[in-house]
Structure formats: structure tokens, C-alpha cells
Amino acid sequence: MVEKVPEAAFREAIANALIHRVWDVDSQIRVSMFDDKIEVVSPGGLPSGITEDEYLSGKLSVLKNRNLANVFYRLGFVEIFGTGITRIKQVYSEALIKPSFEVSENAIQIVLPVYEESTNLTEDEKVVYKLLSRNMLKSMSEIAPYISFGKSKTTKLLKDMEQKGVIAIEGKGKGTKYRIK
């Protein structure tokens, strides 16, 4: 069985959401599943005394719910406190699209994209691929502003990726649009 989103990363995101959430805020952990990603949002921002950089790098962890964290540790759901984000990043180390982490004053969001290895794409193709979506067709005018290549090189890269079976090209001429297969 092929996992669209790595189980280890999903487990870490859920454990983080439960262990680090603020329980006195009348809000729920939200898990949203889409065709191309899973979003996990936990109410409550970072504990005082820890910066966003420290949290995202795994250098420092301050437990908000020590008892719950100890239960998760004893059950084997977490291995070492403070390594969740680092482990998620490690699981995605070979992935084309990396997970994202957004920290605000009132919530922490982890987005786990569908895992796709980048082994058969050139570095230039990876740049273009990251701008595309599975669900939304994008035209050249929606792609071009975000890359440094000219239109002819971008068109060639897109055609090469279609030949590799990675993307689909729909339409003709100015109506041509692109999406991930």
C-alpha cells in the first residue's frame, strides 16, 4: 500500500496538536483532508519563552500539557519530546513538496502535502512543478510571474514533464492550462 501522506508525519502532527494545544480555549483541533494535502490546526500559539525559529528547528520544546505528553510517550506515540517538527521534516526530506508550518498568536498549522518523490525531475522542472496543483488548472500567465525562466523554456519544461507523465496539459493556444496528474 502506498501512503499519500506519510503515516509517521501525520501521527507527529496529530500528537503535536494534542500535546501542545491550549485546553482552556473554547476551540477544537481541526484536521482537514484534501486531495493534495492534510492540514492540522491546533488552537493556541507557542508557549512563552520559545520563539518560532526555536519551535520550527526543534531546538527547544516547552510542554503545555506535561501529563498528556507523558501518556503519549509511554504509549509510544512520541519518542522524544521536542522532535515532532524535526521528524516531520525528515520524513519529507526526499519529497518534492515539503510540509509547511504556520505559527500565529492563536494557532499552529501544519500542512502535510501528498508525498511525491522528485527523483525523475530536473532542478528546473522541480521549480515549475511546485507552482502547479492537482485540482486547479493553471495557465502560463499564472505560472510565469513566479519563476525566472522565459516563456519558451517554461513551455519546454512543461512539455517534458508531460512526456514523463507527471503533469497533464489541457487546451490549445492561449487556452492551454497545466495541472499535476
Q: Indicate the residue among 62, 90, 113 that finishes a domain.
A: 113
For residue 82, being part of any structural domain is answered with yes
For residue 1, being part of any structural domain is answered with no
Q: How far apart, in whole angstroms, are the C-alpha atoms of residue 30 and residue 38? A: 10
pLDDT at 32: 96
For residue 60, being part of any structural domain is answered with yes
Q: Using only C-alpha atoms, what is the Rg of the chain?
A: 19
CATH of the domain at 136: 1.10.10.10
33, β-bridge pairs: 38
Contact 40, 85 (CB under 8 A): no
**Domain with 168 in it:** 123-180
**Judgement on whether residues 77 and 31 belong to the same structural domain of the protein:** yes
User: In the 3-class helix/strand/coil scheme, how is 89-156 assigned residue by residue?
Assistant: HHHCCCECCCCEEEECCCEEEEEEECCCECCCCCHHHHHHHCCCCCCCCEEHHHHHHHCCCCHHHHHH
**Judgement on whether residues 31 and 105 belong to the same structural domain of the protein:** yes
Instruction: Return the amino acid letter for 25.
Output: V
**Judgement on whether residues 85 and 152 belong to the same structural domain of the protein:** no
20 band by pLDDT with thresholds 50, 70 and 90 = confident
Report the DSSP pairing between strands 177-180 and 167-170. Answer: antiparallel
Q: Indicate the residue among 55, 85, 113 that finishes a domain.
A: 113
For residue 103, being part of any structural domain is answered with yes
For residue range 49-65, what is the model confidence (pLDDT) as tens digits? 778 887 777 766 666 67
**Judgement on whether residues 139 and 92 belong to the same structural domain of the protein:** no
Would you say the pTM of this structure is higher than 0.85? no
Task: Give the total number of structural domains in the chain.
Answer: 2
Highest-pLDDT range among 25-29, 62-66, 108-112: 108-112
User: What SS3 class is residue 43?
Assistant: strand
**Judgement on whether residues 56 and 136 belong to the same structural domain of the protein:** no
**Judgement on whether residues 76 and 158 belong to the same structural domain of the protein:** no
CATH of the domain at 32: 3.30.565.60
